[in-house]
Chain A
């Protein structure tokens, strides 16, 4: 590449001019070495420090965001656990009301049963009367020796007969009494059974309550962990939020699929109502109308779920007094039913319009009139779908609530990660700039190697001259 004219110092020797310029530049660079080094270093340092500063403030923001995330997560977790505990208490209350509210009656029934059993037992314990006391006297007389005395013998025989008959009577009484006792004891069996049954019921109720108490204990432990703001609680809640986010997102996608099917079901017949040629912006009015119907259905479903206190997206609805809330349930349910009916009718219309259009297209293409297929199955299927889908869409409120709550936590986590990544990137840029400045200094020195070498030589000589007088002295 030839030098421009104004740079040629010796017109006859352009190469010499070139070398002179090189020499001058190198000399200039050598003379400006220290200020240039300082400037490059300063640039590198300022970039690094600036980046570090920004990175630090970003990390601070990330820390604040993480703290806010933690608070949001813990607050959401606390609310959820509170609701769970509340629900468990409601269940316990229901059990107590249902089973143990009848406890006084049960106690009365039990004590009645026990009294009856006791009475029966006492009755069953009654023994037959003992043999009469004169038997002892007879026994003493019977010991008298007869020894051929006929009178004595007769008397003894009579006594024997009397005792025999007495024995028989006593035995008969005894058997009778035993029979009665057995009869009473037999009568006690159903009472015992009833008693056992009632005690079993009480036992089951108590076991159920014990189980519930165990669950409440676990929930209370979780609640304590959340209140103590432990890392463990945060970790558990975070992972739970992530799971909720993906699951509810998936369910929402399914619901969107259902809504699209619903939309296709009513968009065509809507054109019969609002016209197929009018547009709102770039969109057909019939399509917008169909979409609005579906959105209104979703909104009604949302209000219904809120009124039923299944979801809690609008606290105002949940806090309404019961009378108003029940009224709202019926109103939203009524609107939903009407809309479902409208959709069903539109689905019926759709079948007719589609068949007519098909017939027209066929006649235009082939010149023949297509006989309509008289099958009620597709029509009925579409009508049923049109009626059911709005109610199915109602349940979207549940995953929507989970998604909204979980997305707060997930968005926070993602934003914190992004901030961390950004801070790292800035630090990296700062470090790269710093080391690049170091490299530039080295490259700068490469251009001025000859003067540096000369400088080194001179410095070496100076040192020698400085050292030699000392050496001489030693």
Chain B
């Protein structure tokens, strides 16, 4: 009888402990790339609003990173700010305030880059998100998606993007797109194919309010 009750207690404690473990991660990881090339620099003020939206939407335990796209974007030096929000709401709020300050500083002292390495930025984002491994991974590209690489930079290889949602934001039309709109459509198709071939999901959002629907899933 005594033995039976001890086994019962052990079983109950085991059941309780197994019930307490986190069986499923609910965190979200968002990596945002900002195009700082000369043609796109003037658009960056809009990016500020999106970053503020993300800071307001992301919860404790989520990750947010912002990096710039410049001549060579596959580098940690291009990361402007990054934070994994603490599990405590009060600490998380402080982190968000610091993040915002960093972004303000960056946007006030931004320098345009002569080239645009979008692929490098995406590769950096994929690396980073896979390392953190949140439940939902988003790469937001705030760019016109026109890639201009320095001679010798190799980017024409496939990138593994399994489980990633790549969202192109505010894809502006260039002067040349106005002359031949097929260029714009070809550009979008190129990136769509590249993402989907890598196993990712591609979306284009020109209205920032639609971002809410995508983030909610």
Residues of A within 8 A of B (CB): 268, 271-272, 275-282, 285, 352-353, 356-357, 360-361, 363-365
Contact = CB atoms under 8 A, between A and B. Distances in A.
A350 to B, nearest CB: 10
Contacts of A361: 56
A341 B50 CA distance: 42
A276 B87 contact: yes
A277 B61 CA distance: 5
Contact of B89 (A278, A285, A357, A363): A357
Contacts of A279: 22-26
Contacts of B97: 360, 363
Contact of B88 (A275, A285, A365): A275
Interface string B87-105: 1111011001100100000
Contacts of A352: 90
**Chain A interface SS verdict (over half):** helix
Nearest to B104: A367
Contacts of A280: 19-23
Interface string B44-76: 000000001101100111100000000000000
A457 B20 CA distance: 89
B24 A281 contact: yes
Contacts, number: 69
A276 B92 contact: yes
A365 B60 contact: no
B100 A364 contact: yes
B39 interface: no
B81 to A, nearest CB: 14
Contacts of B24: 279, 281-282
Which of B21, B26, B90 has most chain A Cβ within 10 Å? B90
Contact of B61 (A275, A281, A356, A360): A275
A360 B23 contact: no
Q: How many interface residues does chain B have, given as a range?
A: 20 to 34
B27 interface: yes
Contacts of B26: 277, 279
A309 to B, nearest CB: 29
Contacts of B22: 278-280, 285
A364 B95 CA distance: 13
Contacts of B55: 360, 364
Contact of A277 (B53, B60, B93): B60
A276 B93 contact: no
Contacts of A285: 22
B201 to A, nearest CB: 23
7 tightest A-B CB contacts, nearest first: A277-B61, A275-B87, A276-B60, A364-B52, A277-B60, A277-B87, A364-B56
A66 to B, nearest CB: 39
B23 A276 contact: no
Contacts of A275: 60-61, 87-88
B98 to A, nearest CB: 12
A421 to B, nearest CB: 41
9 contacts: A272-B90, A276-B59, A277-B26, A277-B60, A278-B22, A279-B22, A280-B20, A364-B100, A365-B56
A360 to B, nearest CB: 5
B27 A277 contact: yes
B93 A360 contact: yes
Nearest to A274: B87
Nearest to B19: A280
A364 B48 CA distance: 10
Nearest to B53: A364
Contacts of A268: 89
Interface string B1-29: 00000000000000000011111111100
Contacts of A356: 89-90, 93
B83 to A, nearest CB: 13
A104 to B, nearest CB: 56
B151 to A, nearest CB: 42
Contacts of A277: 26-27, 59-62, 85, 87
